[in-house]
Structures are given as C-alpha cells and as structure tokens.
Amino acid sequence: MANQTLAKYVNELSILTMLRNRGVASRADIARRLSLTPATITRLISRLVERGLVKEAEAVQARGPKELGRPSVGLAINAEGAYFLGVEIAVDAVRFALIDLAAMTVTSTEMAIAPAHTPQSAVKVIAAYFKDLLRDDRYKKKLMSVGVTLPALVVRDGMVINFPAAGWNDVQFAQLLYKAIKTPCYIENDAHAAAFGEVYTQPAISSICTLYLWLGTGVGGAAIINNRLFRGAHGTAGLLGHVKVKTNGDRCSCGNNGCLESCTNLRALARSYYGPDKIPDGDLGSLPGHVAARAAAGEPAAQEAVAEMERCLTIGLTSIVSAFNPSVIILGGPMLPIFRHRAEALKAAIASGVLFGVTAPEIRMSQLGRFDCAIGAATIAHHNSFDLSRVTLLEPELHP
C-alpha cells in the first residue's frame, strides 16, 4: 500500500511537472511520455482535476502517430489551483512576490522596514502580509507554502547562521515563521533563490548545470544542477563571490583580500569611478546605470571603470567555469547595467582563458528584475510542493 501511495504521488508530480514545462497535452501524450497506461492516466487526471490542479484546455492533436477522428481533449495546469508566497528580507525592505501553480508572478510589492529589524519583527511583517492574502477569496485555502530569502548564510533546516547586516546569528527562522503562520516554510540564501527562480520560471534554460552570479552590495552565487540547487555537504555551497581574483586586492567582507566580491561589487565600482577617497555617502544602487550611460557616451573614467569590472569578472568566471563546466551563466543584481551588453565579450574572454577543449558557457542576463529574490523564494516553495525533481532530494519541511 505504501508503494502504491508513493507511486501515485510521483506520477501526479510527473504530470504536473510535464504540463508546467511543456504546456497543453492530451491524455495520450502524457501516457506515452510517462510510460503509463491509459487507465492509470485517467485515474490520475481525474484526481488532479477534482483537486483543481489540472483543467481541460483546447483540443490538441496527439503527438504520436497520426490518429483518425477528432483531436484529443487537451489538459493544462490550472494556474489558479494553488499559490506560493515568496519573501525577500533585505537590510531595509521586505519584498513580496506571489506566484501561481504555473510559476507565473501574480502580484509583487515592497515595504520599508527598520534597518535594525529583529527576527521577530521580520516574522511579524511576513505574517501580517500572509494573513491579508488569506482574506482574499482568490487565495483562501490555496496558499500552499512560503519561501523566504535573505542575504545570509543559511543551512538546510532553515537556520540562519549569519546575517551580518541585521546582526542575526544562529536563528532558527523557519521555526519562528512556521509558529506564526502554520504553513510550510522554506528558508534560502538570496543568491540561491534568485538563481533557482531564473531557471524554474524559464524551462527552456538548460538545468543540467547553470550558474548564477548576483552582483550588488556583495556578490553571491549558486549552481543549479539537474534541476536542483547544489548546496554542498552542509547547505552553504555557492559562495562564488569569494573566488580569489587579485593577489593584493581590496579587503573583502569575508576578511580576505582580492575576492571577486571586493573587485566587482558596488563599492568597487565607486572606487574605480570616483577614486578611493571620493566615494559618495548613501545608496550606490543607481551608480551602475549612471556609469554605464557615461561609458556609452564616451567618458574615459567611466569606460575604464567598466573595463576594470569586466577584467575582474572574467578572471573569476574563468576559474568558476573550469570548476563547474556550466552550459549557462546568468548574471543578476544591481551591477547588471555594467554588463548588460557585454555577454558575447565575456564569453569570448572566458573561452580564451579556459583549458583548450572546454566549451565556454552562454552568458545571459537576469530576466526577473527587482523582485528576483522574492520570485525565486516563491519558486522554491512551489518546487517543494509540486515539482517532480524534489522527490530525489527531499528537503526539510516545517509542517505537521
């Protein structure tokens, strides 16, 4: 009986994953692709339709040998059948993104919070937003789980080991949040979440081995291997910002000198453009756009700053490519304007730096925008509830 229950569960996830990734399909298409009998498919589809997760769509021609008669009835994900909330906890803001069962963003919003927020105050903000959603008839009884991301060292059970900007250390945040909302919670590092969201919301991107690099105040990284986040032995893999690129470079937040982060983050750009003694106070988030525009206009100081960022990034990526052999590298974060039109140049530079015979990866720019981390957190919640690939890597879940 247990084996039958597991088989049914896996088969249902297989159907949902196939429909989300491939679009409308007939029962015959699904049976052929998943190697299941028509009778089994009929039972499974009936159950998924009853639960509101699958719906009938326009008629489709089966994708096998040509058949006589009318086209088969199509089946599709019922996007309104379930919802997943993603939350990004930043230093001075919380961003929310709600996605549906098709992994499409339904709504997103941002609210300011005090820079010195505590874990308890962050939970209070998230719980209030979550409860507001439950008052909406569209989401009542359909809000399945919550993903939370933050710029911190996070391990597999939802423990935040270190969130330096907010002063958190050894906080079991998943448990705190679950006590407040009584809904499955998943906690992830912000770069991991953004990386996963890019791949999960764009099934056309190869997920055999895709790397993501987030460049902003810090530099975070992540690897997606066979549709899953590569977390390493203890959940802290992906610290790509701490690859060494300079022997005597500037001091990094980790305490070492010459890390990729210390050479390609916002303050590195400011040092390069203004000079080390003339960095302006306040938020540097708009600086990459300004420098990129000035470089395009021919300003020498801006062009040299962009060239320096590109040199450092190329050295770091070349080492990373040699280690991981990815097919795709995605760049995201506030530094994106500096590199937005340099994808082919970066690929060529990497190709000239790696071992002969190693294929240089495609370089892409993030498509998720300002809410990339929140959307990524929501996709992690979706993945843990309804994606087939999670069966082979069961994550800790905080619910009864």
Domain edges within the chain:
2-77, 82-196+372-392, 203-366
Is residue 119 a contact partner of residue 161, using CB atoms and an 8 Å limit? no
Q: Which position has the higher pLDDT, 254 or 299?
A: 299
Mean pLDDT of 202-222: 87
Q: What is the pLDDT of residue 62?
A: 52
pLDDT at res. 400: 37
Question: Alpha helices of 73-160 — where are they, by DSSP H?
Answer: 119-134
Q: What confidence score (pLDDT) does residue 8 get?
A: 87
Helix axes 372-386, 2-22, angle to 10 degrees: 140
State whether CATH 3.30.420.40 applies to domain 203-366: yes
Report CA-CA distances (Å) from 133 to 126, 128, 249: 11, 9, 48
Strand 219-225 relative to strand 228-229: parallel, antiparallel, unpaired?
Answer: antiparallel
Give the C-alpha separation, 360 to 352, whole Å.
9
145: pLDDT strictly greater than 70: yes
The architecture CATH gives domain 82-196+372-392:
2-Layer Sandwich (3.30)
- Across the chain, mean pLDDT equals 88
Cβ–Cβ < 8 Å for 186, 380 = yes
CB 263 within 8 A of CB 307: no
Task: Give the confidence band of 91 by pLDDT, cuts at 50, 70, 90.
Answer: confident
Which has more confidence, 155 or 308? 308
Select the more confidently predicted residue: 248 or 358: 358
- pLDDT at position 45 is 94
Confirm if 135 and 100 have CB atoms less than 8 A apart.
Answer: no
Q: Residue 2: pLDDT band by 50, 70, 90 thresholds?
A: low
Q: What is the pTM of this model?
A: 0.85
Q: Report the SS3 class of residue 191.
A: helix
How many angstroms separate the CA atoms of 181 and 374, rounded?
18
Burial 41-59 (b: 16+ CB within 10 A, else e): beebbeebeeeebbbebee
pLDDT band at 346 (very low <50, low <70, confident <90, very high): very high
Report whether pLDDT(118) > 80. Answer: yes
What pLDDT band is residue 397 in, cutting at 50, 70 and 90? very low
At residue 226, the pLDDT reads 84
CA distances from 98 to 7, 184, 352, 373, 376 (A): 30, 15, 42, 12, 10
Alpha carbons within 13 angstroms on the beta-carbon side of residue 74 total 14
Is the pLDDT assigned to residue 317 strictly greater than 50?
A: yes
Residue 156 has pLDDT above 90, yes or no: no
What number is the average pLDDT over the span 300-312? 96
Question: Is pLDDT above 50 for 399?
Answer: no
* pLDDT over 70, % of the chain: 93
Q: Residue 61: which pLDDT band, with cuts at 50, 70 and 90? A: low
Residue 3: per-residue pLDDT: 66
Residue 324: band (very low, low, confident or very high) from pLDDT cuts 50, 70, 90: very high
Does 203-366 match 82-196+372-392 at the fold level? yes
Per-residue pLDDT for 347 more than 90? yes
| Topology adopted by domain 2-77 | Arc Repressor Mutant, subunit A (1.10.10)
Which has more pLDDT, 313 or 251?
313
Check pLDDT > 60 for residue 69.
no
**pLDDT (tens digit per residue) in 218-273:** 898 889 988 888 888 877 788 898 999 988 888 888 888 899 999 999 999 999 99
Percent of the chain at pLDDT > 90 equals 60
Q: Which among 149, 147, 131 is positioned nearest to 139, based on CA atoms?
A: 131
pLDDT > 90? residue 184: yes
According to DSSP, the β-strands at 83-89 and 93-100 are: antiparallel
3-state secondary structure of 98: strand
Average pLDDT of span 372-399: 75
Give the residue-averaged pLDDT of 88-114.
94
pLDDT of residue 398: 47
Confidence of residue 350 (pLDDT cuts 50, 70, 90): very high
